[in-house]
A and B are shown apart, each in its own frame.
Chain A
Amino acid sequence: MLAEVMQAAGVHPILNHEGSNQLPGLTSTLLARSGPSGRLPADERAIGLFEVDEGSMPTILPQIARPHAVVITNIFRDQLDRYLEPDFVTGMLERVLRKLPAETTLVLNADDPRLAYLAAELKNPRLYFGIADTAHDRAGPDPSSDSPRCPRCGGELVYGCVFYAQLGHWRCGGCGLSRPAPHVEAAKVELLGAVSSRLQLTSPTGETVLGVPFPGLYNAYNALAAVAAAIGCQLPDSACLAIEHCTPGSFRMERVVVAGHDVYLVLAKNANGFTEVLRALLKDGQPKRMMLGLNDCAGKQPDTSWIWDADFGSLRGAVPAAVVSGNRSADLAVRLKYAAGLACTDAATELTVEPDPVRAFQFALGGTPAGDPLWVVSTSVVLRQLRRWLRRQGYAGQPWRDQPGAAS
């Protein structure tokens, strides 16, 4: 989204794609853009726009001399087997931020209590974004929250409004520390079916309505972060409207037409991701056919316990048939059995387990009524294997542009 905004503002982003967000990926991104001399072509309007994996921040950020802005959208439990607990990630990011030059703007999510006061003693300018619209209050703690404590005193947080996970209008019951007032705020978020949303935005320069071509509150946060970052980089806010023209990035609601069915490929790789993707897809109340995938990366991310922190309750009664796939499909099937009462004798969902992604997809598609869409929600390996097969079959011709604007 931010790349699209930059393009519209007439600057030329040099960006990496998701999946190449660690040091080797970033290096190869830059090398690919460099000439034979090993230098990037001279371009006054070029700007580096890097998505950086949280674990790689300590190695990558110090190598960027004077970043305009550092954007952090949230700290969720993710890859506990690699990055340990969120408290560790929080502390690690604070140590990284303390090494930044004082003029780098910190663009932070006011609704995430882990982020709002990150390295609070720093004098760096801060730009907060957040959601004001309490119509999306979950009215109670979200089961997928891991209940962070007050960043100042460790006290218990109380919420006037919970959007999802630990994100919301929070205040410490102990010391009174509270969510800072956002500079960029969504006064209203309209979730439009399973594919898009519309935001009423308030920013330092006025109010505007922004169409976001992606579903769910999580993408509303992404759009707010992009707008706040654009302001942090002194781009004109008219350019922010370019977000409306973003095309889905790789596996971000990527659409492929197969045998008359719209097939959507949706990446979900941690508890909050799975929870929010399913909530966004099923919010319109229309029954949907689904293929759900779970894999581990052998030797790299063997821990899939996070599926028990994801809320699969939204599936109940909304999914007439689901096919479960991936090398950890057995674990996901058990999770669904216990979570949504799926796979029980009287269950409303017909559950099939097929570890092989291609066979699972063929089975799921075969069971989908003619013309109906199929939603594939999965961790990445299953999606990659599936797309490779789809390409070989000639279906996924132009899955996403290898151009700025694609990485949302």
Chain B
Amino acid sequence: MTAMRITLGHLYPDLMSTYGDRGNVETIVCRCGWRGIATDVIELRLGDRIRADEIDLIVIGSGGEAQQAMVASDLAKTKGPGIRDAVEQGAAALAVGTGFELFGRFCQPGDGPELPGAGLFDAYTVRRRSALGGHYETPTEARADRAVGELLVRCGDALLAGFENHSGGTYLGPTAQPLGEVICGYGNCGDGREGVWLRNAVGTNLRGPCLPKNPLLADFLIRAALARRHAVADLLPLPDELEQAAHQAAVRRARQPVRSVASRAASIVLDRSVRRPGSATAPRRRTVGVRRGKGQPPDGHAASPANDGASERGLRSGRGR
């Protein structure tokens, strides 16, 4: 085998890595290394541009809400075109949590103006606190407005397991394909769908971080990155006993009937007026925060032509949709 090398662009490693997200990058680097594939990790910070032809795999993690606001316009303006081009050319991408939210078209935070997104996914996010306005006094109050707990997703014939901890409801546009179907947990907005899958790009609420205990997803991304750079998609199998044990343990936890206090709180129905100053397309009223409830996007958000010709092949085949 000739020396193979892929380039991983890690977006905002300092700001968007609150939830152990660097574990996803570490997983890619290790799993490549064990197969003799070198990984160049390029850290892309505020102000850095993305050269689409240079990057084979884009990773963005989940930062806090303040960090999300800090990077939003940089992501949309400086990096957005490069990200969209790279994915169009076949590059792989993984966007998690608040990073996933920003890969959509926009995100309405709890307070403050709407944040622009990178526009890769035909999706947008409304944070539930925006229905309440203002801040939380105590952690209990804050937790009640979040989906916190194990998240289990069926993706084709595979299961993906992880942990969710988010207060945003992410609504998919008509051209967006979900990553999978929620088996346990909340997912995008309680409509039974989780994440977005566009070509070789995956957006998801799965934290934990997700790649260490979902080696299938990690290898899907590696295979896609490798196919783009070297036109090969064969990966040596790795001994994954520890990873599979962690995966199965996560699946068992998710299937336990007792969910956390916090996630039960997330199922409280909040039906308040949504205050969205300055938005002409603001829905007047919406039911938010219902587990397995209605997840219809409000009117006024037309589809963007982001997703053309999604194939139905799954994670295992090495080609995205």
Interface residues of A (CB under 8 A from B): 55, 58-59, 77, 80-88, 91-92, 95, 141, 143, 146-147, 149, 154, 271, 298-300, 302-309, 328, 330-331, 333-335, 337-339, 343-344, 353
Indicate whether B154 reaches chain A with its CB closer than 8 angstroms: no
Q: For residue B280, give the distance in angstroms from its CB to the closest CB of chain A.
A: 29
Contact of B20 among A85, A308, A353 (CB under 8 A): A308
Which 5 pairs show the lowest CB-CB distances between chains A and B? A308-B20, A308-B23, A305-B20, A85-B64, A147-B14
Q: A303 touching B258 by the CB < 8 A rule? A: no
Contact of B137 among A77, A95, A300 (CB under 8 A): A95
> Inside 8 A of B216's CB, which chain A residues have their CB?
none
Q: For residue A114, give the distance in angstroms from its CB to the closest CB of chain B.
A: 12
> Which one of B113-121, B141-149, B267-275 is at the interface?
B141-149
Indicate whether B27 reaches chain A with its CB closer than 8 angstroms: yes
Contact of A299 among B21, B143, B163, B260 (CB under 8 A): B260
> Which one of B79-87, B239-247, B297-305 is at the interface?
B239-247
> Inside 8 A of B146's CB, which chain A residues have their CB?
84
Q: A309 touching B249 by the CB < 8 A rule? A: no
Q: For residue A382, give the distance in angstroms from its CB to the closest CB of chain B.
A: 16
Cα of A344 to Cα of B33 in the assembled complex, Å: 12
Cα of A299 to Cα of B143 in the assembled complex, Å: 13
Indicate whether B9 reaches chain A with its CB closer than 8 angstroms: no
- Total A-B pairs, Cβ < 8 A: 122
Cα of A77 to Cα of B138 in the assembled complex, Å: 17
> Which one of B173-181, B205-213, B226-234, B286-294 is at the interface?
B205-213
Q: For residue A56, give the distance in angstroms from its CB to the closest CB of chain B.
A: 9
Cα of A305 to Cα of B206 in the assembled complex, Å: 11
Q: A309 touching B137 by the CB < 8 A rule? A: no
Q: For residue B142, give the distance in angstroms from its CB to the closest CB of chain A.
A: 6
Interface residues of B (CB under 8 A from A): 14-15, 17-23, 26-27, 30, 34, 64-66, 70, 135-139, 142-143, 146, 148-150, 163, 165, 207-209, 212-213, 242-243, 245-246, 248-249, 253, 258-262
> Inside 8 A of A83's CB, which chain B residues have their CB?
139
With A58-B137, A330-B249, A334-B243 known as contacts, the answer to whether A88 contacts B149 (CB < 8 A) is no
> Inside 8 A of A304's CB, which chain B residues have their CB?
208
Please name 9 further chain A to chain B contacts, defined as beta carbons within 8 Å, in addition to the given A308-B212, A331-B213, sorted by A numbering: A88-B136, A92-B138, A146-B18, A303-B163, A308-B26, A330-B245, A333-B245, A334-B246, A339-B26
Q: For residue B126, give the distance in angstroms from its CB to the closest CB of chain A.
A: 18
Cα of A343 to Cα of B213 in the assembled complex, Å: 15
Q: For residue B264, give the distance in angstroms from its CB to the closest CB of chain A.
A: 9
Q: For residue B307, give the distance in angstroms from its CB to the closest CB of chain A.
A: 30
Q: A86 touching B64 by the CB < 8 A rule? A: yes
27 pairs, A vs B, C-beta closer than 8 Å: A55-B139, A58-B137, A77-B18, A81-B148, A82-B139, A84-B139, A85-B65, A85-B66, A87-B66, A92-B139, A95-B137, A149-B70, A302-B163, A305-B19, A305-B207, A305-B208, A306-B20, A308-B22, A309-B17, A330-B246, A333-B242, A333-B245, A337-B242, A338-B23, A338-B30, A343-B242, A344-B34
> Inside 8 A of A303's CB, which chain B residues have their CB?
19, 148, 163, 165, 207
Q: B64 touching A154 by the CB < 8 A rule? A: no
Q: For residue B207, give the distance in angstroms from its CB to the closest CB of chain A.
A: 6
Tell me which of A81, A154, A298, A335 has the highest count of chain B C-beta atoms within 10 A of its own C-beta. A81
Q: A55 touching B138 by the CB < 8 A rule? A: yes
Q: For residue B208, give the distance in angstroms from its CB to the closest CB of chain A.
A: 5
Residue of A nearest to B30 (CB): A338
With A86-B64, A305-B209, A334-B212 known as contacts, the answer to whether A300 contacts B246 (CB < 8 A) is no
Q: B22 touching A143 by the CB < 8 A rule? A: yes
Q: A331 touching B260 by the CB < 8 A rule? A: no
Q: For residue B232, give the distance in angstroms from its CB to the closest CB of chain A.
A: 24
Cα of A343 to Cα of B243 in the assembled complex, Å: 11
> Inside 8 A of B207's CB, which chain A residues have their CB?
303, 305
Residue of A nearest to B31 (CB): A338
Contact of A300 among B18, B70, B212, B261 (CB under 8 A): B261
With A334-B242, A338-B212 known as contacts, the answer to whether A300 contacts B138 (CB < 8 A) is no
Residue of A nearest to B148 (CB): A81
Q: For residue B205, give the distance in angstroms from its CB to the closest CB of chain A.
A: 13
Q: B262 touching A87 by the CB < 8 A rule? A: no
With A149-B70, A305-B23 known as contacts, the answer to whether A84 contacts B212 (CB < 8 A) is no
> Inside 8 A of B64's CB, which chain A residues have their CB?
84-88
> Inside 8 A of A331's CB, which chain B residues have their CB?
208, 212-213, 246, 249
Cα of A87 to Cα of B139 in the assembled complex, Å: 12
Q: For residue B206, give the distance in angstroms from its CB to the closest CB of chain A.
A: 11
Q: For residue B113, give the distance in angstroms from its CB to the closest CB of chain A.
A: 16
Q: A307 touching B138 by the CB < 8 A rule? A: no
Q: A330 touching B242 by the CB < 8 A rule? A: yes
Cα of A77 to Cα of B137 in the assembled complex, Å: 19
> Inside 8 A of A339's CB, which chain B residues have their CB?
26
Q: B26 touching A338 by the CB < 8 A rule? A: yes
Cα of A59 to Cα of B141 in the assembled complex, Å: 13
> Inside 8 A of A154's CB, which chain B residues have their CB?
70
Residue of A nearest to B215 (CB): A334
> Inside 8 A of A88's CB, which chain B residues have their CB?
64, 136, 139, 142
> Inside 8 A of A91's CB, which chain B residues have their CB?
135
> Inside 8 A of B150's CB, which chain A residues have their CB?
302
Q: For residue B213, give the distance in angstroms from its CB to the closest CB of chain A.
A: 7
Cα of A308 to Cα of B212 in the assembled complex, Å: 10
> Inside 8 A of B262's CB, which chain A residues have their CB?
81-82
Q: For residue B8, give the distance in angstroms from its CB to the closest CB of chain A.
A: 15
Cα of A333 to Cα of B213 in the assembled complex, Å: 11
> Inside 8 A of A147's CB, which chain B residues have their CB?
14-15
Q: A82 touching B143 by the CB < 8 A rule? A: yes
Q: For residue A28, give the distance in angstroms from its CB to the closest CB of chain B.
A: 20
Q: B23 touching A333 by the CB < 8 A rule? A: no
Cα of A58 to Cα of B262 in the assembled complex, Å: 19
Cα of A59 to Cα of B34 in the assembled complex, Å: 51
> Inside 8 A of A87's CB, which chain B residues have their CB?
64-66
Cα of A309 to Cα of B243 in the assembled complex, Å: 18
Q: For residue B28, give the distance in angstroms from its CB to the closest CB of chain A.
A: 10
Q: For residue A72, give the distance in angstroms from its CB to the closest CB of chain B.
A: 17
Cα of A331 to Cα of B70 in the assembled complex, Å: 31
Q: B19 touching A80 by the CB < 8 A rule? A: yes
> Inside 8 A of B209's CB, which chain A residues have their CB?
305, 308
